[in-house]
Chain A
Amino acid sequence: MNKEVIIIGGGVAGMQCAISLAEMGVKPTIIEKSDKLGGKLNDWYKLFPTFTSASEVLNPLKDMINELGVDVKLSSEVTKLEPKSVTLADGTTMSADAIVICSGFEVFDARLKEEYGYKIYDNVITSVDLERMFCEGSVQNLDKNSPSRIAILHCVGSRDEKVCQTHCSRVCCVAGVKQAIELKELYPKSEIFNFYMDIRMFGCGYEELYKEAQIKHNIHFVRGRISEAAQTIDSKIQIKSEDTLIGRPLKMTVDLLVLMVGMSAGKSNNSFATTDGINLNTSGFISPKNIFTECVSSDVDSIFYAGTVTAPKNIGESITEGVAAAHKVAKFIKL
């Protein structure tokens, strides 16, 4: 008889986990709260550091899911988690031999940093908005033929105790560099400034991209956070910052301010944590059993994790964890 595994969340980690399990002869069921598989990757345009189109990653995963006939329940949300069963919002209860939580992260709500004026001033957008605009082919109010000045602010909702986000979201540094290059390519006459605290280029090819942005694309990097933004009469954004390398205050008017929003813990983590054995860390991500050797296991034997539910990760790492979790599940259910 086929062993059954429930996978909560149909992003890249969940999809990969389902594929690996199905390949091993298990019957996985993906429970996805939105109306399509793919998670946040659906909204991304191109991926760092190679500028690979997001669909190039997503489509093969989706094809495999179809090919293997993985059971997918869309628009379904888990309201209650037990070691071997889940209850959905519509009241149905599903049981399984094991559960893998791949519920991912939330994009930080930039409105909490009111001083940057997101949703108050027209020309303040987030990195997520920018991806959508890239997908649509143009960025609001920017003209290809006239020069414009764009500021990209890193660490919005990351490494910021004041909004309860003590962690580093890791991927926004390189995403900010990627977006700066894309903006420059789309608007060659524009001047682009990245405001940062530290630039953390942890992945393969990231540092090279950072260098390329400076040398090839002439993108400016200013070490200093923006303290506040205000709208000018002509709807531009005036920002105040400090260039901490030269130790001077700085005031600049830009046409567009892009906020590199960080990864916040998933909203459902709190409800998962009501189950014994599932614990949250300070920023609200779920703590795995052991961050070195058991990073996809929980303290409950039948519950496993994959992807950004446990910490900010990039796409490659999330997919790898999908495979790893499938392996641990297989061992647990004694395939």
Chain B
Amino acid sequence: MNFYYDHFIIPFIIGVAILFSIVLYKYVRWITRLPKRDKLLIRKNIFTRKTLSAIQEVILESLLHRKIFRVNPLLGYMHMSLAFGWFLLIIVGSFEAAVHLKGEFLPPHAHVFYKFFAPKIIHTESGTTWEFIMDFLLLFVLIGVALAWGKRAYSRAMGIKKSTKHTRADRIALSALWLIFPARLLAESFTSGVRGGSSFLTGSIGNFMVDLLGWNTMVAIAPYTWWLYSTVLAIFFIFMPFSRYMHIFTEIPLIFLRKYGLKSSDNKQKSFDHFQIEACSRCGICIDPCQLQSAAGIDNVQSTYFLRDRRYNKLTESVTNNCLMCGRCQVKCPVGIDLNTLRLNSRHSFVSTSKADADNRYSYLNGVDLSTGSGRVGYFAGCMTSLSPKILNAMDKIFAAAKEDIWYADKNGGICCGRPLKLSGEIEAAQKMIDLNTALFEKHKITTLVTSCPICLKVFKEDYRLNGVEILHHSEYISRLIKEGRIEVSKSDLSYTYHDPCELGRGSGVYEQPRDVISAIGNLVEMEHNRESALCCGSSLANLEIRDDQQLKIASQLGEEFKQCNADSMITSCPLCKKSISRVANGKVEDICEIVANSLK
């Protein structure tokens, strides 16, 4: 019986043992702590097609890194060659070892140090083919490592302007990772040089080294190269569970759990959150889209840092609250982490308001009904709209033109939709608003609810339980009125550009209706960033930290794009965005309903 033992494998064995014990401990702990409902979801879905589709996603994302390819092909290649290349080295290496190392028991490390333990089979023909494939794979990974070195020196070449600042554990693991494959190359080359054979890479380098150093020196050094390889592997494995590299394994269970329907929740930190948090590789793709970074120079709050701080229990309230929640990073996250939800439940964890507190605090709102009108279509202007009389007037004009009978929820003052409270983590207080408004909507038996504010829209859609009530933003409503021929608009030669408000676009997925409406009235010119990648106006209610001058810098980025696209007017569909952009724009900024009202036939 051959155990394929040599002293140098000890570090490797220790590393692997530590790695798998910690990873296993974490996963078992997280899974057992899942709430009953989540466990039920897993049990219900595990033997369905969802598992297959999860496997597919694991291959596409965890191994091939398809989403990163979309960010930048070089960056994609770097991640793919490291992940997929290493994966293939393990798989092909195992087969190679299984084929050539005869014996009833093959310890797992045998294939890792295959060249050391089985240097003699190289002379067979099939052996040469295996050698070639393994050398090729090693080269594939080494190119990835070289790119990673290059990225350190010049990240812009890979489409990343600013890369992540690392923790100490990250640095150690990273250094070890960068050494693993060069060390493997060195070890395999030395052994090949000493014993002859091997393929184009390790074989050639081995022969070259023999010529250079002489055979005797090679024999003397060779064992130490294996020690080096084993040691860097061990260092990487030991630090992996404590560093960003925990994502290598964690992304896989995350994909499965997500397919089974597990979600993070706004108001409660759940065990599932761990899978999301530790699946973050801190690749830093979230940093560049963040306008707090690009406009205001704030560089410690981005999602990668937020998740890092939360993971290591170092999260501060100020980092948690310093986020526009515009969602620009979330659409780019290659792991698909639900960043905004995690941010929300962290905010909630800093808030101590109980349901009783909220009931007590807002008791003066019980039974308040300042609404007017009797229609089945309800109009909820929202507080920011109430401060924008042009929008109110325009909506009135449109309602009159469409002969719509309207019930005005808040014309004489109303109750907040709850979204601002929710965004600040005051979920219980928000729920109070939600309950009060829901009762009001039910009392007046509306069938459609139109709002002019995307912030209200999002909370109506996501948190209100309004059975049978259709919820529309006014851009959707107006688009429908035009399509159904209930209002007619005339088209002019004016050019308009459209700003997608965060809560309407990325937040609620409404991109096309406002564009349809604008195209019916004039010519639409897109700004450089539009739809999913649209810029934030900077005045987002979600950011509880930044100062006005910082908001202004963010808005200025939008003002600059407006200038570049040379449109007569900038259209938006959020009263808050309108206010925010108005102060930096060189031209006119209008709400979509204003131009509709002005072009009614």
A114 within 8 A of B: yes
A112 pairs with B582, CB closer than 8 A? yes
B388 within 8 A of A: yes
Contact A114:B388 (CB < 8 A) given known A120-B393, A162-B548, A164-B552:
yes
Distance in angstroms between the alpha carbons of A164 and B388 in the assembled complex: 18
Distance in angstroms between the alpha carbons of A121 and B582 in the assembled complex: 19
A228 within 8 A of B: yes
B389 pairs with A121, CB closer than 8 A? yes
Which partner residue on chain A sits nearest B383 by CB separation? A228
Distance in angstroms between the alpha carbons of A231 and B552 in the assembled complex: 30
A163 pairs with B389, CB closer than 8 A? no
**Interface of chain A residues 35 through 90 with chain B (CB within 8 A):** none
A114 pairs with B389, CB closer than 8 A? yes
Distance in angstroms between the alpha carbons of A188 and B579 in the assembled complex: 38
Contact A228:B552 (CB < 8 A) given known A112-B582, A163-B583, A164-B583:
no
B386 within 8 A of A: yes
A198 within 8 A of B: no
What distance in Å separates the Cβ of A230 from its nearest Cβ neighbour in chain B?
7
Q: List the B side residues contacting A117 at CB < 8 Å.
A: 389
**Interface of chain A residues 155 through 192 with chain B (CB within 8 A):** 161-164
B60 within 8 A of A: no
A115 within 8 A of B: yes
B579 pairs with A114, CB closer than 8 A? yes
Q: List the B side residues contacting A228 at CB < 8 Å.
A: 386-387
What distance in Å separates the Cβ of A267 from its nearest Cβ neighbour in chain B?
12
What distance in Å separates the Cβ of B420 from its nearest Cβ neighbour in chain A?
16
Instruction: Give per-residue flags for B357-395: 1 if the beta carbon is below 8 A from chain A beta carbons, else 0.
Output: 000000000000000000000000000001111100100
Which partner residue on chain A sits nearest B388 by CB separation? A114
**Interface of chain A residues 135 through 169 with chain B (CB within 8 A):** 161-164
**For the complex, would chain A's binding face be called helix, strand, loop or mixed by DSSP majority?**
mixed
Contact A112:B583 (CB < 8 A) given known A161-B548, A162-B548, A164-B552:
yes
Q: List the B side residues contacting A282 at CB < 8 Å.
A: 549
B390 pairs with A114, CB closer than 8 A? yes
Q: List the B side residues contacting A161 at CB < 8 Å.
A: 548-549
B552 pairs with A114, CB closer than 8 A? no
Instruction: Give per-residue flags for B121-133: 1 if the beta carbon is below 8 A from chain A beta carbons, else 0.
Output: 0000000000000
**For the complex, would chain B's binding face be called helix, strand, loop or mixed by DSSP majority?**
helix
Distance in angstroms between the alpha carbons of A114 and B394 in the assembled complex: 14
Interface size range on B against A: 10 to 19
Instruction: Give per-residue flags for A229-245: 1 if the beta carbon is below 8 A from chain B beta carbons, else 0.
Output: 11100000000000000
What distance in Å separates the Cβ of A117 from its nearest Cβ neighbour in chain B?
5
B389 pairs with A115, CB closer than 8 A? yes
Distance in angstroms between the alpha carbons of A190 and B113 in the assembled complex: 98
Which partner residue on chain B sits nearest A251 by CB separation? B413
Which partner residue on chain A sits nearest B391 by CB separation? A114
Residue with the greatest number of chain A CB neighbours at <10 A, chosen from B389, B393, B582, B583: B389
Q: List the A side residues contacting B389 at CB < 8 Å.
A: 114-115, 117, 120-121, 229-231
Distance in angstroms between the alpha carbons of A164 and B552 in the assembled complex: 8
A120 pairs with B390, CB closer than 8 A? yes
Distance in angstroms between the alpha carbons of A122 and B386 in the assembled complex: 18
What distance in Å separates the Cβ of A137 from its nearest Cβ neighbour in chain B?
30
Q: List the A side residues contacting B583 at CB < 8 Å.
A: 112, 162-164
What distance in Å separates the Cβ of B551 from its nearest Cβ neighbour in chain A?
9
A115 pairs with B548, CB closer than 8 A? no
Which partner residue on chain A sits nearest B392 by CB separation? A230
B548 pairs with A114, CB closer than 8 A? no
A115 pairs with B552, CB closer than 8 A? no
Q: List the B side residues contacting A230 at CB < 8 Å.
A: 389
Distance in angstroms between the alpha carbons of A112 and B387 in the assembled complex: 11
What distance in Å separates the Cβ of B555 from its nearest Cβ neighbour in chain A?
10
Which partner residue on chain B sits nearest A230 by CB separation? B389
Instruction: Give per-residue flags for B496-523: 1 if the beta carbon is below 8 A from chain A beta carbons, else 0.
Output: 0000000000000000000000000000
Q: List the B side residues contacting A162 at CB < 8 Å.
A: 548, 579, 583
Q: List the B side residues contacting A229 at CB < 8 Å.
A: 389
Distance in angstroms between the alpha carbons of A162 and B538 in the assembled complex: 12
**Interface of chain B residues 149 through 191 with chain A (CB within 8 A):** none
Of the candidates A115, A163, A231, which one forms a contact with B387 in the assembled complex, judged by CB atoms under 8 Å apart?
Answer: A115
Distance in angstroms between the alpha carbons of A161 and B582 in the assembled complex: 13
Instruction: Give per-residue flags for A198-228: 1 if the beta carbon is below 8 A from chain B beta carbons, else 0.
Output: 0000000000000000000000000000011
Which partner residue on chain B sits nearest A114 by CB separation? B388
B582 pairs with A115, CB closer than 8 A? no
Distance in angstroms between the alpha carbons of A118 and B570 in the assembled complex: 20
Q: List the A side residues contacting B549 at CB < 8 Å.
A: 161, 282
What distance in Å separates the Cβ of B396 from its nearest Cβ neighbour in chain A?
11
Which partner residue on chain A sits nearest B411 by CB separation? A230
Distance in angstroms between the alpha carbons of A227 and B393 in the assembled complex: 18
Q: List the B side residues contacting A163 at CB < 8 Å.
A: 583
List the 7 closest A-B pairs by CB distance, nearest first: A115-B387, A161-B548, A117-B389, A120-B389, A114-B388, A228-B387, A164-B583
**B residues in contact (CB < 8 Å) with A:** 386-390, 393, 548-549, 552, 579, 582-583
List 18 extra interface pairs beyond A114-B390, A114-B579, A163-B583, CB under 8 A. A112-B583, A114-B387, A114-B388, A114-B582, A115-B387, A115-B388, A117-B389, A120-B389, A120-B390, A121-B389, A162-B548, A162-B579, A162-B583, A164-B583, A228-B386, A228-B387, A229-B389, A231-B389
Query: What would be 25 A-B contacts, judged by CB atoms less than 8 Å apart?
Result: A112-B582, A112-B583, A114-B388, A114-B390, A114-B579, A115-B387, A115-B388, A115-B389, A117-B389, A120-B390, A120-B393, A121-B389, A161-B548, A161-B549, A162-B579, A162-B583, A163-B583, A164-B552, A164-B583, A227-B387, A228-B387, A229-B389, A230-B389, A231-B389, A282-B549
